[in-house]
Structure 1
Amino acid sequence: MPNRDGHRRFGSVRKLPSGRYQARYPAPDGTTRSGDQTFARKAEAERYLILIEAQMARREWIDPDRGKIRLQDYAERWITERPNLRPRTVHLYRWTLGKHVTPYLGGMPLNRLDTPMIREWRTRLLAQGVSLTMAAKAYRLLRAVLMTAVKEDELIRVNPCRIKGADQEKPAERPVLSVPQVFALAEQMPARFRALVLVVTFGSLRWGEAVALQRSDIDTSAGTVQVRQAFVEHRGTGLILGPPKSRAGVRTIALPRAALPLLREHMGNYVGTAPTAFVFTSETGRTLWRGNFNKLVKWSEAVAAVGAAGLHFHDLRHTGNDLASRAPGASLRDIMARMGHDSPRAALIYQHANREADLGIAEAMDKAVQAARRKPSKRKPKRSHNGDGPAAEAG
């Protein structure tokens, strides 16, 4: 339909009884659609039609009805349909959505979400005391859900999660034990758990990997530990034995010789003779639960006794990673393999120059500078070109 200038007009604009203007346009399926909003001015409605027509020409137009699904419903479907998610990951995603996302945004249709709304949601989380780390995790999960809505399901045109820095977390740097502290901490443990401290630390093991070790995984002659599986704690289900966290998690790790005597003693005193006997268990022979281990060994008192108050059990793996990264000739790939990581991102953290070395370098440089300043200069004085000084006298 041509307008007054003789150009074809896409769609039409009509004035509503409220005084606002509504845009209507033909959809690709032949139906007539009304705009998803009304406008205070007719010119605004006409610009809206121009935008819709351009989207259709570029094949970027998305049926608004497709995006009317609520975020809460779509996010639940997203989790259900994700392939190969570990049970613990499913539980974590559902908990994060239910705790930090859907109470605020769950009832909103996908196509009504915009960046200012996401920014306000994140601001509210932080104002209510949610940590920066937790807010970043919730933001990344929401962004992943909405990215699927954009790229795979084509329910919305753009992802509204476009807040710079919202996906970044800056957790406090975790403590690292010295080697003497590691052995001192092992001595603070009940006898049946001393080897656990050494194996987790020097093997860079995760908790679930350590408690899933079986006799057949330990070779005390070669001094190696084979990681084939891991336990995952899942509320309502219990302990689930499955593959490690990633494909790279299946690995064989060499332990330092200093850790082997205690490990051999442990294998002889506390591990059954069957190849499938678990290596680290409770006094009753049951699988260890991470949730009650601290009380079982009086962890807080033990770490305080070795001068590491506040140390978490997972910091033992962190200590092992740090020690591995300092080994002469250890490459990024070597560290990744030992840690059981597919991505180099985590391994790179341990390749940064440690503080002690950096301070040592700075101190050596400072001494060199001071020594140079104390030495008298042996350079000949420069000749002057303005008639003063030695140059003038020589003339």
Structure 2
Amino acid sequence: MPKYTNADRITAGGNGQHPAEKTYPSKTDAQIALTQVEADITRGQWSDPDAGALNFGDYATVWLRDRKLADRTRERNESVIRLHIVPTFAAGSIADVSTARVRSWRGKLLATGVGEPTVVKAYQLLRALLNTAVDDELIRRNPCRIKGADRYDVPERPVLTVAEVFGIADAIGPRYRLLVLLAAFTTLRFGELAALRRKDIDLSGRVVVVRRAQAELQNGRLFDKAPKSAAGVRAVSVPAELVDEIRHHLAQYPGPGQEGHVFVGPQGGQLRRSNFRDDWIKARKAAGVAAELHFHDLRHTGNTLASAAGASTRELMTRMGHSSSRAALMHMTSDRDRAIADRLGSMIRGAGGAASGSPEEASADT
């Protein structure tokens, strides 16, 4: 018995002719199938069955290359794709990626000890890549459809008391004392602190201005970049109780000139996490605080203290440089931020921090 195709080839909405997907036992069956395909084309629901045959690895390379990303983000994404996505999917086609395969891949990553944040990041990247494949009409729908796979519960981080913050500041070397205090009482990130210049500190106005953040590539290259979002560019008020701390530090430790870095490494070079880590661990142990405490937790501590000082959610977000909801919210006034800093200063006095830890006022000023 002869077999029939749906008119042997079909025409897809101006995209040329495409071979029929199968043969049919009768010409009538072939014609019915052709009618259904033409209806799908009219509704915009038809996709070329051969489009998804494109090699996944090749597509991933081009996809990452064409994305507009900051250097550090590009490096991090490339690493996750290379280590955790390519080994499973690169040899096959885009169409070979099914929901079942994605579920199995994710489960194996977790079972082999890959950290949950990394697995979430890998899943998010795979989903974004396949969203582009849908837009490119290579596949009809994204197979990354696993509920909850794109997020994880962040464990509660330690929060220090004001006295514990000063305990670490007292225990760390004098070069990094102010680094600890500003992290806690201005909630600046490590990269923002490392990128501060002398000109970014206004003692008369009691503000630290964040204009940039330091980033480090895997090859060790340091560079300044814009903060994560427009909200990251901000002026943060400083408690009056820290002014003498700042004045003393600026007289002793920064790089030269107004463009000099406020915080530098032990040999006078740029501050790096690697040349600060040992000092941090020793000070943390000497102060007797939680062993799992990270430097970034000082930022969380500062946020908690500012909240206790009466800051609203909007004000906390502005002070910390968070972008979510920032566009829809009014800017916090400098007077209100100063009031929050004054309340933090009261906490410092109440804990005896300013009296026990502040250096003698240096003669130099800025």
Query: What is the CA–CA distance in structure 2 between the aligned matches of 1:221 and 1:199, rounded to whole Å?
Result: 17
Alignment correspondent of 2:324: 343
Q: Where in structure 2 are the equivalents of 1:83-94 lying within 5 Å?
A: 83=68, 85-94=69-78
Q: Could you tell me which of 283, 295, 316 is aligned with 1:302? A: 283
2:235 pairs with 1:252: yes
Asked if 2 retains the 8 angstrom alpha-carbon contact of 1:332 and 1:344, the reply is: no
TM-score (norm 1): 0.74
Query: What is the CA–CA distance in structure 2 between the aligned matches of 1:325 and 1:52, rounded to whole Å?
Result: 60
Change (3 A) 1:123 1:58: same
Shift of 1:275: 0.8
Counterpart residue type for residue 251 of structure 1: R
Asked if 2 retains the 8 angstrom alpha-carbon contact of 1:10 and 1:53, the reply is: no
2:306 pairs with 1:324: yes
Root-mean-square deviation (CA), in Å?
2.7
2:143 pairs with 1:160: yes
**Cα offsets for 1:304-335 (capped at 9, x unmatched):** 2322212111111121122223331x232211
Asked if 1 retains the 8 angstrom alpha-carbon contact of 2:40 and 2:46, the reply is: yes
Shift of 1:273: 4.9
Alignment correspondent of 1:104: 88
Quick one: higher RCO (CA 8 Å, sep 6+), 1 or 2? Answer: 2
2:17 pairs with 1:31: yes
Counterpart residue type for residue 147 of structure 1: N
Alignment correspondent of 1:334: 315
Counterpart residue type for residue 304 of structure 1: K
Asked if 2 retains the 8 angstrom alpha-carbon contact of 1:225 and 1:254, the reply is: yes
Shift of 1:142: 0.9
2:71 pairs with 1:71: no
Q: Matched residue pairs, number?
A: 317
Asked if 1 retains the 8 angstrom alpha-carbon contact of 2:5 and 2:30, the reply is: no
**Cα offsets for 1:196-255 (capped at 9, x unmatched):** 101122111111110110000011222110011111101236001221122211111011
Change (3 A) 1:175 1:58: same
Change (3 A) 1:304 1:57: same
Asked if 1 retains the 8 angstrom alpha-carbon contact of 2:197 and 2:262, the reply is: yes
* Range that drifts further, 229-238 or 173-182: 229-238
Alignment correspondent of 1:6: none
2:51 match: secondary structure: helix
Shift of 1:280: 0.2
Shift of 1:47: 9.9
Alignment correspondent of 2:190: 207
Query: Percent sequence identity over matched residues?
Result: 43
Alignment correspondent of 1:123: 107
Q: Could you tell me which of 195, 199, 208 is aligned with 2:178? A: 195
Asked if 1 retains the 8 angstrom alpha-carbon contact of 2:120 and 2:150, the reply is: yes
Alignment correspondent of 1:356: none
- Where do 5+ consecutive residues of structure 1 fail to align? 1-8, 13-23, 346-395
Q: Where in structure 2 are the equivalents of 1:138-177 lying within 5 Å?
A: 138-151=122-135, 153-177=136-160
Shift of 1:342: 1.2
Asked if 2 retains the 8 angstrom alpha-carbon contact of 1:303 and 1:310, the reply is: no
Counterpart residue type for residue 6 of structure 2: G
Alignment correspondent of 2:293: 311
Counterpart residue type for residue 90 of structure 1: R
Shift of 1:124: 1.1
Query: What is the CA–CA distance in structure 2 between the aligned matches of 1:312 and 1:107, rounded to whole Å?
Result: 40
Change (3 A) 1:141 1:273: same
1:194 match: secondary structure: helix
Alignment correspondent of 2:361: none
Larger Rg: 1
1:158 match: secondary structure: coil
2:41 pairs with 1:56: yes
Query: What is the CA–CA distance in structure 2 between the aligned matches of 1:322 and 1:52, rounded to whole Å?
Result: 60
Query: What is the CA–CA distance in structure 2 between the aligned matches of 1:10 and 1:235, rounded to whole Å?
Result: 56
2:20 pairs with 1:11: no
Counterpart residue type for residue 70 of structure 1: N
TM-score (norm 2): 0.79
Query: What is the CA–CA distance in structure 2 between the aligned matches of 1:195 and 1:89, rounded to whole Å?
Result: 29
Query: What is the CA–CA distance in structure 1 between the aligned matches of 2:31 and 2:148, rounded to whole Å?
Result: 36
**Cα offsets for 1:29-61 (capped at 9, x unmatched):** 4524143x899xxxx999987764442231122
Query: What is the CA–CA distance in structure 2 between the aligned matches of 1:183 and 1:60, rounded to whole Å?
Result: 64
* Range that drifts further, 74-83 or 211-220: 74-83
**Cα offsets for 1:133-159 (capped at 9, x unmatched):** 2211111111111112223x2322111
Change (3 A) 1:315 1:52: farther
Q: Could you tell me which of 283, 288, 303 is aligned with 2:266? A: 283
Query: What is the CA–CA distance in structure 2 between the aligned matches of 1:47 and 1:118, rounded to whole Å?
Result: 35
Asked if 2 retains the 8 angstrom alpha-carbon contact of 1:132 and 1:170, the reply is: no
2:50 match: secondary structure: helix
Counterpart residue type for residue 95 of structure 1: S
- Where do 5+ consecutive residues of structure 2 fail to align? 327-366
Asked if 2 retains the 8 angstrom alpha-carbon contact of 1:25 and 1:49, the reply is: no
Alignment correspondent of 1:220: 203
Shift of 1:289: 1.1
1:147 match: secondary structure: helix
2:114 pairs with 1:114: no
Query: What is the CA–CA distance in structure 1 between the aligned matches of 2:305 and 2:171, rounded to whole Å?
Result: 21
Change (3 A) 1:110 1:269: same
Asked if 2 retains the 8 angstrom alpha-carbon contact of 1:267 and 1:279, the reply is: yes
Change (3 A) 1:116 1:190: same
